[in-house]
């Protein structure tokens, strides 16, 4: 059985989150939770929260306490979110103001109780 967790409109760049997801994809939940604090990226906080949420969703769907060692990160991906509403201003030469857009991402994590 599978369970999914979504983290949408998160204030991280998708490329940096993808680098963390590549490290834990396909591993057991227990191994992934051990590995996350060792990765030196701020996106590990976001990935850890999504992983715990997906694990709790799976335990709720199965209706019993399941050992995290028997659950696996089946799939995890991140996509670019909308940047239109996060416009910011940065000073530029000759008193101008240059606009730039903050990056936002959508994270989806799928946890399964069978390896695959």
Q: pLDDT tens digit string along 58-106?
A: 999 988 778 888 999 999 999 999 987 778 899 999 999 999 888 999 9
Q: How many domains does the chain have?
A: 1
pTM tops 0.75, yes or no: yes
Look at residue 43 in the predicted model and tell me its pLDDT. Answer: 96
Q: Is residue 97 part of a domain?
A: no
How far is Cα 66 from Cα 103, in angstroms, rounded to an integer? 36
Angle at 82 between CA 101 and CA 57, to 5 degrees: 130
Domain that holds residue 14: 2-79+105-112
24-52 residue pLDDT tens: 999 999 999 999 999 999 999 999 999 99
CATH no. for residue 29? Answer: 3.90.470.10
| 4 vs 1: CA distance, rounded Å | 10
Q: Identify which of 34, 43, 60 has the alpha carbon closest to the alpha carbon of residue 103.
A: 43
Does residue 98 lie in a domain region? no
Burial of 57 (0-12, 13-18, 19+ CB in 10 A): middle
pLDDT in tens, 96-112: 999 988 899 999 999 99
């Amino acid at each position: 059985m599978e369970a999914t967790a979504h983290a949408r409109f998160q204030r991280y760049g998708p490329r940096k989150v993808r680098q963390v997801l590549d490290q834990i994809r396909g591993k057991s939940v227990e191994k992934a939770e051990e590995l996350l604090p060792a990765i030196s990226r701020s996106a590990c906080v976001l990935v850890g929260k999504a992983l715990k949420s997906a694990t709790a969703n799976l335990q709720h769907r199965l209706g019993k306490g399941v050992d995290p060692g028997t659950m696996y990160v089946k799939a995890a991906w991140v996509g670019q979110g909308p940047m239109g509403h996060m416009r910011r201003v940065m000073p530029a030469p000759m008193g101008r103001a240059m606009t730039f857009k903050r990056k936002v991402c959508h994270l989806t994590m799928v946890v399964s109780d069978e390896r695959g």
